[in-house]
Chains A and B, each alone.
Chain A
Amino acid sequence: MGKGLYFKLAKENLRRNRRMYFPYAVAVAVMSGVFFIILNTVLCESISNMSFGNTMRVMLLFGLVVMALFTYGYMLYLNSFLIKNRRREFGLYGILGLEKRHVGRIILLENTMLNLGSLALGLLCGTVFGKLAFMVLLALTNVAPDSRFELSLPAYLITVLGFGAIFLTATIYNQFQVRLANPIDLINGEKKGEKKLRGVPLMTVVGLICLGGAYYFAIATKDKAIAIGMFWPAVILVIIATNLLFLAGSQFVLRAIRRTPRLYYRPNTFISVSGLMHRLKQNAAGLSNICILSTMVLVTISGVCALYFGQEEMIKGFFRNDLEIAVYYDAGEVQSRQLDDTLNELRLMASERGYAIDSLYAYHSKQETALLSDGQLAFKDQNGNYNLTDSEASIQTVSVLIMPLEDYSCISGQNRVLQKDELLVIAEPSVQESKTVQAGGKSFQVQEWIREFPLLQPKEETIKQVFLVAGDMEKCRELGQAVNPSSGDSNWAVEFCMNFTGGDYVERAEFSRNVADHLGKRMAEQLSVTLVHSSGIDEYRAESYGVYGGLLFLGIFFSLLFITNTVLIMYFKQVSEGYEDRARYEIMRKVGMSNQEVRNTINRQVLIVFFLPLAGALMHILAATNMITQILNAFVMTNNALTLACIAVTSAVYILIYLLVFRITARTYYKIVR
């Protein structure tokens, strides 16, 4: 046989089977395109220049490996599905006198053309949309879009090699399929009786128990630690339950209907029930996998979205002030005039950058710790031990900050006068009020308990803060002595707090570092500085946007991949079943069903097979809502309304996509069946 003939046959086969091969090509293009885009992003120079570059790279790389494994599995599955659909055709070739090696060559040619074409398409799309994806990534991480997008040659090479390996495996598999089969088997392959499924009631009961157990864990869990612990067991139970119920549960219900003549012998149910029994038995595994994958997509995307959109709130929960710098010293003293000068310098630095300062404080403080036992403060004694009256009570460590009245007045804007041995106590409501504070054998009169103060740590902080305000620095030292007799005069610091607006977080983080450097140098003029500790919201923000923006980016691409594959499996199943069903509907028409009746029957069957996995996934996610919220709470994402909104929007979008695919699939199915 001439080479031209092989080529012609292969081309003709692709054209004739385009209903199957076109979606396959699209899927390969999507998968290779997505793979290329992410790989290119990882290899892109400009990513590593970003502040969170390395975190993001590692995360994307991990996602890429997972994606590669999924892609490999999916492609082989789709390929085996396609080749099995053509068994009859190969059988026919054999009968027409083509040798197996000839058929093998035709298949090889087909696969080469198909895969090369779709891979080229994928790389083209990857190149075109790569820049778009890069911009999306920049937008998600809130970086000013001045980073340059570059195409990397290694990314092309790795994508081609990776997909080449997949195609090679698929081609070898296809060759085996052709070699191993004999023509009679190939021709008759499709018409075989099916076995009755055994143990349906038992499997149904086990499935229901698993599902009930998983749902109970998911709904009843009220504690975030337990929610995290129970997550994977619940997932495994749900997977088992979904598989069992799709296989056996469906048969159980259908058999029950069949045993009830009143229900069964009605025109609508009669044909649907037997059709579904056959369909669901064949497709139980596929449908339950689609259900589980859909659930995973929904859970992942809504979780990642909630984290991404909730992160600003989370970050603000961690930091009461945009920038806090503590300059620790062990000797020396700063006059308030000098402190004022320093603050003015900071104002100047900010205005040079065009930032507006919302608030700026500086204060002296001595940091100590105390215990909070039943709302009562307990301090250390001479030996550094706490003296507790009631050992049974709940105990919590709190941070105690001692500050002079002068600084308090500056920050709060109130003018107060404290008598000798009089204090102001600033604390959260969980610290109970008392007339006096007992420390180091001394009793201090509390002039007033203050509950609102700009410097009180936000509620997310696990260690509570208590401020003790004494008349002046001298009094403060005495108080410090009383609070921790063994510490001497250490742990003193000058603290600066700053809130400002303007700029993006990368510039702000840089500004924060400059401020810390400046303050360290400036304070060293008067003090012997031991440590400058800076904690800025923007440095944290860079990390957070890098992680959550990257997660969202990965999540979007993963869902794209999952959805493409899910859709494709559904489409292939429907189309190949369409060919099988055509004969059945032809018979029904001959026996006296009108076209309308046949169409209604088809509609119902397609609808049920198509939407059963979606219904299952939505049910799962509804049950999982509480658990997702709890787990996100454990990640300090406490805005439950946002989480619920994310779940709802994600589900709605997913349903829309699903509906769209259903319309396309149903139309193709009708065309085949008619």
Chain B
Amino acid sequence: MELLEVRHLKKVYNTRLGGRQCVALQDVSFTVSQGEFVAIMGASGSGKTTLLNLLASLDKPTEGEILLAGRNFREIRDKELSIFRRNNLGFVFQDFNLLDTFTLRDNILLPLVLSNTPPEEMMLRVRPLAQSLGIEELLDKFPYEVSGGEKQRAAVARAVIINPKIILADEPTGALDSKASAGLLDKFSALNAQGRTILMVTHSANAASYASRVIFIRDGRLYNQIYRGGLERREFFDRIVSTLTVLTEGGADIG
């Protein structure tokens, strides 16, 4: 069984004054298996963010279904939704979204605290994780005292610490320089190698080339998907770029 199943997803936004409707997603279906590292690429306005919001259960689809480990999002009651999200999904955002008033340690522990984990267990979990992400020295610092790459690694630690079924990353390298980006993506690959499932939305062909599969969407529809297979990262990058070239022939603009 697939870990994540997306079936005929459709999302329609009504403009504020009724009347016109805006179709953000149309008939999107795909699956993600356990242990996959999937990148979703598309132009601005192609529906990437809408798709991610739906997958994150922050928003509800107009039509179609999303199943995570066989559980249909529609069957989850609103009250349980945040608990479901907390226990099953890990988020990494473009702008880190760390709380300024917490140390990195406390930021990482936040989801565990919310689910009432005993303090001893939290400490046991945070140490090896911080070590593997290379931030164990920085745990007692505040977000404004560390660099962007370090902040994002802390944010990854926060997403991973609950052992989510899937990690959802929204442009995780968007606010980082190329060195920090490479460092972060290496960590993603490492996490993926440990068997974690990652779904990453990105603009960057370079970032996408770390994935094992890239899904392209255009104008709200699934356009194409390519698998890395046995390719070197460099070669995969070239394949992604050439697909993008085809994708943008219609005049769409890739940032």
Q: List residues of A whose CB falls within 8 A of some B CB.
A: 191-193, 261-262, 264-267, 270, 274-275, 277-278, 584, 586-597
**A587 to chain B: which residues have CB within 8 Å?**
97-99
CA distance A377 to B189 in the complex (A): 108
Contact of A592 with B85 in the complex, beta carbons under 8 Å: yes
Instruction: Name 27 A/B residue pairs within 8 A (Cβ), A-sorted.
Output: A193-B100, A193-B144, A193-B145, A261-B123, A265-B109, A265-B112, A265-B113, A265-B122, A270-B106, A274-B99, A274-B101, A278-B101, A587-B99, A589-B82, A590-B91, A590-B93, A590-B97, A591-B86, A591-B110, A592-B86, A592-B89, A592-B111, A593-B86, A594-B82, A596-B79, A597-B82, A597-B114
**CB proximity to A under 8 Å, residues B69-91:** 79, 81-83, 85-86, 89, 91
- By beta carbon, the residue of chain A nearest B79 is A594
Contact of B113 with A270 in the complex, beta carbons under 8 Å: yes
Interface size for chain B: under 10, 10 to 19, 20 to 34, or 35 or more residues?
20 to 34
CA distance A275 to B110 in the complex (A): 13
Which of B81, B83, B102 is most buried by chain A, counting CB atoms within 10 A of its CB?
B102
Which of A192, A278, A590, A592 is most buried by chain B, counting CB atoms within 10 A of its CB?
A592
Given known A265-B119, A274-B101, contact A593–B93 (CB-CB < 8 A): no
**A274 to chain B: which residues have CB within 8 Å?**
99, 101-102, 106
Contact of B142 with A193 in the complex, beta carbons under 8 Å: yes
**B98 to chain A: which residues have CB within 8 Å?**
587
User: In the assembled complex, how far is the CB of residue B155 from the closest CB belonging to chain A, in whole angstroms?
Assistant: 10
Given known A274-B99, A274-B102, contact A591–B158 (CB-CB < 8 A): yes
**B79 to chain A: which residues have CB within 8 Å?**
594, 596
- Other than the given A266-B116, A278-B101, A595-B82, 8 more pairs (CB < 8 A) read A193-B144, A193-B145, A264-B119, A265-B109, A265-B113, A587-B98, A590-B93, A592-B83
Contact of A591 with B97 in the complex, beta carbons under 8 Å: yes
**B123 to chain A: which residues have CB within 8 Å?**
261
CA distance A192 to B158 in the complex (A): 23
**A262 to chain B: which residues have CB within 8 Å?**
119
Contact of B110 with A270 in the complex, beta carbons under 8 Å: yes
- By beta carbon, the residue of chain B nearest A589 is B82
Contact of A594 with B97 in the complex, beta carbons under 8 Å: no
User: In the assembled complex, how far is the CB of residue A298 from the closest CB belonging to chain B, in whole angstroms?
Assistant: 33
Contact of A267 with B101 in the complex, beta carbons under 8 Å: no
User: In the assembled complex, how far is the CB of residue B43 from the closest CB belonging to chain A, in whole angstroms?
Assistant: 24
- By beta carbon, the residue of chain A nearest B87 is A592
Contact of B82 with A592 in the complex, beta carbons under 8 Å: yes
CA distance A597 to B117 in the complex (A): 17
The one of A191, A278, A591 in contact with B111, judged by C-beta atoms closer than 8 angstroms, is: A591
- By beta carbon, the residue of chain A nearest B142 is A193
Contact of A267 with B116 in the complex, beta carbons under 8 Å: yes
**A588 to chain B: which residues have CB within 8 Å?**
99, 110
Contact of A591 with B91 in the complex, beta carbons under 8 Å: yes
Contact of A266 with B113 in the complex, beta carbons under 8 Å: yes
**CB proximity to A under 8 Å, residues B4-36:** none
Q: 9 tightest CB-CB pairs across the interface, nearest first?
A: A592-B86, A594-B82, A261-B119, A193-B144, A274-B101, A587-B97, A265-B119, A278-B101, A270-B113
User: In the assembled complex, how far is the CB of residue B212 from the closest CB belonging to chain A, in whole angstroms?
Assistant: 26
CA distance A596 to B100 in the complex (A): 22
